[in-house]
Chains A and B, each alone.
Chain A
Amino acid sequence: MSKYTEDDLKVELENKEYEYGFYTDLESDTFPIGLNESIVRAISMKKEEPQWMTDWRIEAFRAWQEMIEPNWANVRYEKPDFQAISYYSAPKTADPNKTLGDVDPELLAMYKKLGISIDEQKMMNNVAMDIVVDSVSVATTFKKTLSEKGIIFCPISEAIKEHPDLVRKYLGAVVPQKDNFYAALNSAVFSDGSFCYIPKGVRCPMELSTYFRINQAGTGQFERTLVIADEGSYVSYLEGCTAPSRDENQLHAAVVELIALDGAEIKYSTVQNWYPGNKEGKGGVYNFVTKRGICEKNAKISWTQVETGSAITWKYPSVILKGDHSVGEFYSIAVTNNYQQADTGTKMIHLGKNTKSTIISKGISAGKSQNSYRGLVQIGARAENARNFSQCDSLLMGNNCGAHTFPYIESKNPSAKIEHEATTSKIGEDQVFYCNQRGIPTEKAIALIVNGFSKEVLNKLPMEFAVEAQKLLEISLEGSVG
């Protein structure tokens, strides 16, 4: 075996699977690389899922095999080799021998800037925690409060077992398995994620996952989230973490589905800060996410996102305004620096009468990055008096970055009112000098100007998240000027 190539290895692995029967591999915590039906079945089995779930995954997998990776987005990258990825790893546990001293000091410095507590830092780096009294007791109190109100908030793997009726009814209801290439892949192999159900008329008393976010970290590269707000209920859900996540998984393909039944309201806020790659554009996470919500009568879904990380971002949180008088909102800040590329926006699908949508998108590009807004506003034939307002603002720093806006508008109803505004501006030397003259150093001046530019969106974030997001914007753009 003088010339043992990767291809040979692949062949060997495939053969081995058949030779020895795949399931012997279940003893190990990480599956071999590659994807086929046996792997999908094995994931389902490992998670002790019911048959319907296994079948659902298989259906998705078969659809995915027939699909082609899309390339219409304004991003350039080397397509991942889907057969070179391992699709299951046991959740990491704390390493008793590891201390914070073992963690990259650069990362720790950044935590400090963001004001992340020592406990959280440990959690995020799989460092065992010595004192967990506070957080444990807080978590217990939270869980008690939630369950008293009948709110279900648990890992989706648990929900599949404990609340199969709800999951079966709604999983894939908004993002069908065959929706798109990445959604199909996610449906086949999703590792875990969150499930949330708010009963009729209940107003969730806390921002979900404000505390839980550290527990949510590390749910893996194929995360699946399902949020169901029953009639007249309200929930504010926070996803992500302002701390930089140095995940070694390069490909992330999550799916988030929101269901707002009659009169319900879901507010979904995200801060995404995956590793963006280094200054030369090496490495970094590819983030291909499908997020969509559906509004029944008088319901409201509001997406707010702050995107600062990832080498490639491909993400369009959307709302299907099915019910009459329903409301969809999208507030976004996308920052790209160095060689990052983002193609992000939203889709507002107006089906019901008197439906209303608002889109506020703020793109900030620095370095050699490319930042695109891509949005669709679609008014169906029966959507009388639908209204949309879109505003897309781009801020450029330096002369080597790009900002692009791709708004698509399709209206099949003459009563629709659609407004679109777009601006592009540059941080001016005169603005920076003005700040300097008042004693504000350049880095801080940039942060101030960027924060001002993003204010309308930052204001939509829950208070504590907004403060962290502001700091994050500052850090993401560090070193982006002279």
Chain B
Amino acid sequence: MLQIKNLHAKVEDKDILKGVNLTVNAGEVHAIMGPNGSGKSTLSAVIAGNENYEVTAGEVLLDGEDLSDLKPEERAHRGIFLSFQYPIEIPGVSVTNFMKTAINESRKAKGIEEMPANEMLKLIREKSELLEIDRKFMSRSLNEGFSGGEKKRNEIFQMAMLEPKLAILDETDSGLDIDALRIVANGVNKLKSDKNAVIVITHYQRLLDYIVPDFVHVLYNGKIVKSGGKELAYELEEKGYDWIKAEN
């Protein structure tokens, strides 16, 4: 589904990614781990098409299509979803309104007519139950005054609403207490199928107890330096990143 080949990227003249290779197939869960500053968030931003990052070499393919000329929204329409590490506030725009706009813009891009209101309401009800979200939450301004946990849960709610092909969860576990973590992970697990894929970006092994990865990759200094099964996450937890740093 996703193929990343020899990806190099920089931000403000600083090279961050220095040749990333990664293949993700439908039905798989990949975890990307690594110490601070190794390029994890840059990788997710580049896949999503953030224009502040410049791709200097290599390519990202989704189902064989080169994404390099596609705008962020076009990538979203093709099924890429990014759960933000720091979700952005949009005052005065309710969660419902935001989701309605997002869903209908995607439909418009695909030449499908707008989702009827009753269908939208049904979908919201279904997905908010999945993530144990109080319905009152839906009329609040997007991320404004949300607690850290609420923001992250809202990200996963949006993912549930948009049903992406490829979801990238950028440090979704940070700022979550153990109950919220369980709810979020549960949600992700329920949404998993053999048709979609998930990339989990995290520092800690904790989240991976709940969202069990098929593959674990270690990103260090802009490259994937080690790949393995879920046991690699335990090894990292035990030995720390110094072990990786020492080897490279």
Chain A residues packing against B (C-beta within 8 Å): 428-431, 433-442, 444, 448-449, 451-456
Contacts and interface: CB of A to CB of B under 8 A. Distances in A.
A132 B127 CA distance: 49
B122 to A, nearest CB: 20
Contact of A433 (B72, B91, B97, B158): B72
A428 B89 CA distance: 10
Contact of B88 (A434, A439, A456): A434
Contact of A439 (B76, B84, B91): B76
Contacts of B109: 439
B35 interface: no
Contacts of B106: 439
The 6 closest A-B pairs by CB, nearest first: A452-B92, A452-B93, A436-B72, A439-B76, A455-B92, A438-B102
A452 B105 contact: no
A439 B74 CA distance: 7
Chain B interface residue number, banded: 20 to 34
B162 interface: yes
A455 B77 CA distance: 28
Interface string B84-105: 1001111111000110011101
Nearest to A429: B52
27 contacts: A428-B88, A429-B52, A430-B88, A431-B88, A434-B84, A434-B90, A436-B73, A436-B76, A437-B48, A437-B73, A437-B81, A437-B84, A438-B76, A438-B158, A439-B105, A441-B71, A444-B101, A448-B97, A448-B101, A451-B92, A452-B92, A452-B93, A452-B141, A452-B142, A453-B91, A454-B92, A455-B92
B52 A452 contact: no
A452 B76 contact: no
Contacts of B49: 436-437
A452 B92 CA distance: 4
B68 interface: no
A437 B82 contact: yes
A439 B102 CA distance: 6
Contacts of B89: 431
B50 interface: yes
A327 B81 CA distance: 49
A428 B93 CA distance: 15
Contacts of A428: 88
A438 B92 contact: no
Contacts of B82: 437
A130 B167 CA distance: 56
B105 A440 contact: yes
A444 B107 CA distance: 14
Contacts of A449: 90, 93
B77 A439 contact: yes
B98 A448 contact: yes
A451 B100 CA distance: 14
Given A437-B72, A456-B92, 9 more contacts: A431-B89, A437-B81, A437-B82, A437-B84, A438-B76, A439-B103, A441-B73, A448-B97, A448-B98
Contacts of B51: 433
A224 B105 CA distance: 44
A455 B98 CA distance: 14
A441 B88 contact: no
Contacts of B88: 428, 430-431, 433-434
Contacts of B87: 434
Interface in B1-56: 48-52
A391 to B, nearest CB: 13
Contacts of A441: 71, 73, 105
Contact of B105 (A431, A433, A444): A444
A315 to B, nearest CB: 24
